[in-house]
Amino acid sequence: MLIGAHVSASGGLVQAIHNAVALDINVIQIFGSSPMQWKANLPDKESAELFKKERRAKGIEKVFLHAPYLINLASEKPSIRHLSRVLLADSLKISNAIGADGVIYHSGSAGTQNIDEALSIAVEAVQRILQEVPVGTLIVENAAGAGALIGDTIDELAYMIKKISSPRFGFCLDTCHALASGMIEDFNEKNIQKLEAEIKKKIGVKKLLAIHLNDSKFPYNSKRDRHENIGKGHIGTEGFKNFFKSKLFRSAPLILEVPGFTGNGPDEKNVKILKSLI
Name the binding residues for Zn(2+): 66, 106, 141, 174, 177, 212, 225, 227, 257
Binding residues: 66, 106, 141, 174, 177, 212, 225, 227, 257
Using CA atoms, how far apart are residues 6 and 27, in angstroms rounded to an integer?
A: 9
Cβ–Cβ < 8 Å for 208, 247: no
Q: What values do phi and psi take at 52, rounded to 5?
A: -65, -40
How many secondary structure helices (H) and strands (E) does the chain include? 10, 10
Cβ–Cβ < 8 Å for 257, 5: yes
Please report which helix (H) or strand (E) contains residue 131, including its range: helix 115-132
Cβ–Cβ < 8 Å for 164, 129: no
Q: Give SS3 for 269.
A: helix
Q: Give SS3 for 177.
A: helix
Q: Region of 45 please: left (phi>0), alpha (psi -120 to 50) or beta.
A: alpha
Using CA atoms, how far apart are residues 195 and 94, in angstroms rounded to an integer?
A: 33
Using CA atoms, how far apart are residues 19 and 16, in angstroms rounded to an integer?
A: 5
